[in-house]
Amino acid sequence: MGQLNFDAFQVIADASRREILHMLSKESLTINTIAANFDISRPAISKHIKILENSGFLTIEDRGRERYCLLSQDGFRQLRDWLDYYDHFWKQKLSALETLMNKNINGASTT
């Protein structure tokens, strides 16, 4: 199953998977309904759905005999976490750089 575990950025790098998410943002759909909207094979769609499920972008719910896909927030949160992480990272590093330069270049041409 290793190959089906992608991180958030890899997940949304694929156009079919983006399209599936787009469809699910309007309503919950069965796997069959989703597959009917694509030209690619049913197994290929199932694999995309599995990837989306594993990475937290959707959940699958059994309703009677049908399996419904629902959009889930976790995958999107991971994308945001990355940006937040780097935002904070650079702020910290720039502050460290300032401290370091002030220490190393003591009194040199400061205003």
Chain residues that interact with another protein, rule: CB under 8 A: 6-10, 12-13, 18, 21-22, 25-26, 71, 73, 76-83, 85-87, 90-91, 93-94, 96-98, 100-102, 105, 108-111
Identity of the residue, 43 or 108, whose beta carbon is nearer to another protein in the bound complex: 108
CA dihedral over 9, 15, 21, 26, signed as positive or negative: positive
Joined together, the tokens standing for residue 88 give: 């904070």
Smallest distance from the beta carbon of 82 to another protein, in angstroms? 6
Identity of the residue, 42 or 91, whose beta carbon is nearer to another protein in the bound complex: 91
Residue 31 and residue 69 in contact, taking contact as beta carbons nearer than 8 Å: yes
User: What residues contact 30, with CB distance under 8 A and at least 6 apart?
Assistant: 66, 67, 68, 69
Smallest distance from the beta carbon of 38 to another protein, in angstroms? 16
